[in-house]
Amino acid sequence: MRETKVRKIKACFQPGKRVHLVGIGGVSMRPLGIVLRDRGIIITGSDMNSSVSTEELEAHGIPVYIGHRAENIRGADCVIRTAAAHNDNPEIAAARAAGIPVFERAEAWGVLMQEYRNAICVAGTHGKTTTTGMLTHIFMQAQRDPTVMIGGYLPLLHAGHRVGAGDTIIAESCEYCNSFHNFSPTVAVINNIEEDHLDFFKDLEDIKASFRHFAELVPKRGQIIANGDDANTADALKGLKYLSFGLGEQNTVHPLEISEDWQHCTVLCDGVPYCELDLAVHGKYNLINALGACAVAWYMGISGEDAAEALASFTGAGRRLEFKGRCKGADVYDDYAHHPHEVRALLEAVRTMGYDRMIVAFQPHTFTRTKALFEQFVEELQAPDILVLAEIYAAREQNTVNIHSSDLAARIPGALCFDTLPEVSDCLRSLARPGDIILTVGAGDIYRAGEAICEPEEQQ
């Protein structure tokens, strides 16, 4: 079935063919449109709203329709849709009725990856965006001119994507709905495996089986690169050969002489010094991400000097401990952490930054995740000096499990809970004082609460 679909997609990805992208302004749809256009394919697209993204596409000569209408697909040989465009979308419904093939975004990227000699796909429950960003810095430093698809904003690129002319594509690869099974990795990176997305996966064993299938997509000439310290990853990959990285000395790639702040160490690859890391990002988890990036760079023949220089310049991706501004002398940061273990790693890293008080505004992400991991959230969210909870961000869900942030607040001593983001902002502003760090945390729109309290620069 997959090979038949691949043949159909390849037949549409020929010069002179017309391909329409539904949701073309999305983070991985936009570069897809540009890559296809550069292959001589006629591209049109649609999105709900005009934006910087749609303006960029139009500057590349790609017409973008604002609003979804059946007539937008007229003349298309195939339609590619973002995950948010369902069968009731007017353009998808019209395409199906007209017999025009409709493909998923991940399916299209998987076919395109086959055109690159090196397809580096970065997966894992945590750290995908950061590791993909680190690898982008490294491959740019090494002048490999990569194509990049990343699930967040990278300051180096001024975007979340890059269309290069080299033989390498670096792609963040998400497990949700088994999306990464559509990819064609020559290098599969697995940072870690934990319970998450339990609205789709049955349990942890189901998740591990999904990651194993992803790893098995790597051809014999390729390489699996995985965190050798992570028990779930080791279990998922049992019987497969892989290059391991991690803090433990049993790993092929591991550190020596780690500084107390986790930012400095010597990296050994197969027992030989590869580079001296001097990271600009904080936390044990970011050192592990950097080790994964070093493992890929070493395997791909990039010098340790290039890797070290690139990683020293990496200050994080958007919404990954991102400095936003100041409020009444307090520093305001934002982070995307939305899983209990991500929250723990983030707060442990922030404790090393030397602030007097840590004030955290947390917005749980999806009702099913909050319900499934409730006790873990209760445990990890007791770490801040002051916890402010926003209501759960629904994302794609309805509250069928009858859970609210107030349920978390009832279990966490001293927690404050508010229904709206303006109320969260008012609370944070009233709490702020010099020496504090204020963190907005979550994968929804909690960052707006932090941005709302940041003072203009001239007032700081």
Cα–Cα dist 25/157, whole Å: 17
Give 375's contacts (C-beta < 8 A, 6+ positions apart): none
3 state SS of 255: strand
Cα–Cα dist 270/268, whole Å: 6
Place of tokens 């940041």: 454
In angstroms, the Cα distances linking 419 to 3, 289, 363, 408 are 49, 35, 11, 13
The yes-or-no answer on residue 172 being catalytic is yes
The yes-or-no answer on residue 136 being catalytic is no
Nearest to 270 by CA among 239, 242, 298, 289: 298
In angstroms, the Cα distances linking 287 to 110, 265, 304, 333 are 29, 9, 16, 20
Within 10 angstroms of residue 397's Cβ, the number of other Cβ atoms is 15
3 state SS of 312: helix
Residue 324: its H or E element: strand 322-327
Phi, psi torsion values for 64, nearest 5 degrees: -125, 120
Within 10 angstroms of residue 416's Cβ, the number of other Cβ atoms is 16
Give 330's contacts (C-beta < 8 A, 6+ positions apart): 359, 432, 433, 434, 435, 436, 437, 438
Name the active-site residue from 44, 54, 107, 128: 128
Cα–Cα dist 105/123, whole Å: 17
3 state SS of 311: helix
Name the active-site residue from 44, 54, 82, 129: 129
The yes-or-no answer on residue 216 being catalytic is no
Name the active-site residue from 91, 107, 172, 380: 172
Cα–Cα dist 453/332, whole Å: 9
Cα–Cα dist 378/413, whole Å: 10
Backbone Cα Rg of the chain: 22
Phi, psi torsion values for 293, nearest 5 degrees: -65, -40
Axis-axis angle for helices 284-299, 340-351 (nearest 10) = 100
Q: Under a CB-based contact definition with an 8 Å cutoff, are residues 248 and 229 in contact?
A: yes
Q: Which residues are catalytic?
A: 128-129, 172
